Amino acid sequence: MRKIDKKQADAYFRTRTTLVTIYLLIGFSASFGVVMFAEELSGFSVNGMPFHYFMGAQGAVLTFIILLFVNAIVNDRIDKKFGLDQDLEDKK
């Protein structure tokens, strides 16, 4: 990887770590969080199913997919902002 200023490298690393932490929190509350409160959340329906079942069968998976795509897009922007064009680098 191209040599970049240490301060900038730290900022880059921090931004990415913060984002990953947020994504994981969202992902875990959609799965583990909903399971923890499954009984309480079964009162209303989404897409014809009780909410806890919907989250298990569809909601959590959709959340995961969206998070991964958001991560890919946002990370590309961050790379650009920090001037790291990865298409030219990392090739070994």
Q: Is residue 50 within the footprint of another protein (CB under 8 A)?
A: yes
Determine if 56 is a binding residue for another protein (CB under 8 A): yes
Is 29 a binder of another protein (CB under 8 A)? Answer: no
- Contact flag: residue 3 with another protein (CB under 8 A): no
Among 53, 77, 81, 83, binds another protein (CB under 8 A): 53
For position 78 contacting another protein by CB under 8 A, the verdict is no
DSSP string across 29-84: IIIIIHHHTTTGGGGSEETTEEHHHHIIIIIHHHHHHHHHHHHHHHHHHHHHHTT-
